Structure formats: C-alpha cells, structure tokens
C-alpha cells in the first residue's frame, strides 16, 4: 500500500446498474483493479451514500453487512442479488475519534446494511465482496461547507489505506427520468444537464470551492438538475477527505456518461494522487 490514496465521488445511477452495467458499470469494473495496481489493496472503504441519511453523522459499525434492496418496482432478479461484505468495527472507532476530535457530532451503532448506492458500484469494483465497508450516514440539511469540513476530519484516513468515497449522482431529477413520455436509456443529453456537468468540471479543476459551496445559486440549472440535493451532497465530504485543514483540493473527472438524457453518471477523484488513478484508468 502506498502512503496515500485518492478520495472518490461516484454516481451510482439506477439500481438496474447492478444488472445492466452500461458505461458506468464498465468504469466501476476497471476502478477496483486500477486502484489496486496504483496503490495496493485498500484496508477498507468508508462510504457516504445519498441513501443513508441521518440527523447527525452515524457509523454503521456492524461486523457484517448485507445488501439492502431499498427500492421497488424493478425486475425480480434484482432482489436476488447479494453483497455480503464484512464490516469495519475497529475502523468505526477510529473514525468516531477523528470526528469527535474535530468537535463534530457522531454516533456509532453495531448494525450493518449497505444501501444500493453502496453495493451497486462495489459489486462491480470488488465483486468478491471481501473488502471491509464502513457506511457513514450524513445529515442532508448540513450546508456544503459543513459537509466539506466533515470530510476534512477524515483526511488522515487517505494515508492509512482507507478509501473514502461519496456515492450519489452528479445530476438527479427523477421527474425527468420518469417523465411522460419517459426518455430512452440512451436518449441524447439535454442542454441543462450538459451545462451543469461542464460547470462542475471547470470549477472543480480550478479548485474554486467558494463557487462549489454556492453551487445552488451559481451553477447553471442547479435546481432543475437537483430538485433535492441529497445525491449531490456526498461530493463535499469526499472532496474534503482529500484536503487537510486550510487546503482546497482540485478534482479530476475519471468518467463521464449520461443515462436517460439527464442522469449524469460522472465520477471524480480528489487529492494529489488523483492523476495516477486517472492514468491507470486510461
């Protein structure tokens, strides 16, 4: 294991990505081997998912996890999929200490369970389900800057073999995804989605965090692309975890694709070694 890992933000998309990987699933399949070829096998992965939301930060510190099928109306085959990864209770105690040292509230519960925002990408990246996983539920009412600071408290983990990952969706307007008529899976990207994605990529490359913290007002079509922003918010702790106090990291897009014309599947890496991962992914 090298001394430092990048941190990641992944767009997990529809639960159907677990059955029909598409372009994003193919990226997830390359991601696990690319990380290991560059940095060695992670000790564990800590994940903040848009589908594990809590009033204050909560660590799911159970010794064993199962895939939670937190969705309805999909083919029966999807509900038979399992991802029974080990938990990381000792890491949970370490993370609890880090957050308490930063004067942040944190709770630890001896329970497991991986929502589809966690197990869908991990199913492709580490299909053997043998990498320990620690979910960290986060408060969706916290401001972007607060969530970035939450990530900064986790920054020591990147040098200790722990992969910190946020899982959401770079754009997430299900009213448009399930509109009447419903767009095709491979529908052309709408202009508003393209503008939002391009703005994020440019501001991220420039490490313009004042604009990124104020994305709701400054990003084009922000409210259309995120009527509610829980799928966008994991971006901030993921980025913050690559940034010790008083630093602002740039970010590098590792993958970009769009489903249904408006659901962006982009993935980003943060930190000084993000370029190595991008190069390994080609």
- Dump the DSSP string for 14-49: -GGGGTS-HHHHHHHHHHHHHHHHHH---SEEEEEE
For the chain, the average pLDDT equals 95
**DSSP one-letter code for 195:** H
Residue 246 has pLDDT above 70, yes or no: no
**DSSP one-letter code for 156:** G
Domains and CATH numbers, the chain: 7-281 (3.40.830.10)
Q: What is the mean pLDDT of residues 201-212?
A: 96
What's the pLDDT band for 248 if we cut at 50, 70, 90? confident
Indicate the pTM of the whole model: 0.95
For tokens 């890491």, the residue is 91
Return all residues near 61 (Cβ < 8 A) that are at least 6 apart: 87, 88, 89, 92, 93, 108, 109, 110, 111, 134
Residue 149 has pLDDT above 80, yes or no: yes
Q: Residues of the chain with pLDDT > 90: what percent? A: 87
- pLDDT number for residue 164: 98
Helix (H, G, I), strand (E, B) or coil at 205: helix
The pLDDT tens digits of the residues spanning 221-244 come to 999 999 999 999 999 999 999 987
The pLDDT tens digits of the residues spanning 31-81 come to 999 999 999 999 999 999 999 999 999 999 999 999 999 888 888 999 999
Residue 182 has pLDDT above 90, yes or no: no
């Amino acid at each position: 294991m090298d001394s430092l890992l990048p941190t990641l933000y992944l767009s997990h998309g529809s639960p159907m990505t677990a059955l029909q990987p598409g372009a994003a699933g193919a990226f997830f399949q390359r991601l696990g081997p690319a990380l290991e070829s560059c940095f060695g096998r992670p000790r564990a992965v800590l994940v903040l998912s848009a589908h594990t939301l809590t009033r204050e930060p909560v660590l799911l510190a159970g010794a064993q996890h199962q895939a939670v099928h937190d969705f309805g109306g999909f083919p029966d085959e999807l509900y038979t999929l399992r991802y029974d990864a080990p938990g990381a209770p000792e890491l949970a105690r370490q993370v609890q200490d880090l957050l308490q040292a930063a004067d942040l509230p944190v709770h630890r519960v001896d329970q497991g369970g991986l929502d589809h925002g966690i197990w869908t990408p991990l199913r492709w990246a580490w299909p053997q389900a043998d990498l320990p996983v620690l979910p960290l539920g986060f408060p969706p009412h916290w401001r972007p800057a607060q969530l970035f600071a939450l990530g900064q408290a986790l920054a020591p983990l990147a040098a200790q073999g722990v992969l910190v990952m946020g899982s959401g969706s770079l754009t997430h307007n299900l009213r448009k995804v399930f509109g009447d008529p419903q767009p095709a899976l491979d529908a052309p990207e709408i202009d508003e989605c393209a503008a939002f994605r391009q703005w994020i990529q440019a501001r991220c490359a420039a490490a313009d965090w004042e604009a990124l913290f104020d994305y709701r007002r400054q990003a084009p079509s922000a409210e259309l692309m995120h009527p509610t922003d829980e799928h966008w918010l994991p971006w901030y702790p993921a980025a913050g975890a690559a940034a010790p106090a008083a630093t602002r990291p740039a970010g590098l897009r590792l993958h970009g694709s769009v489903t249904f014309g408006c659901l962006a599947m982009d993935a980003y890496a943060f930190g000084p070694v993000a370029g190595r991962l991008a190069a390994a992914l080609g």
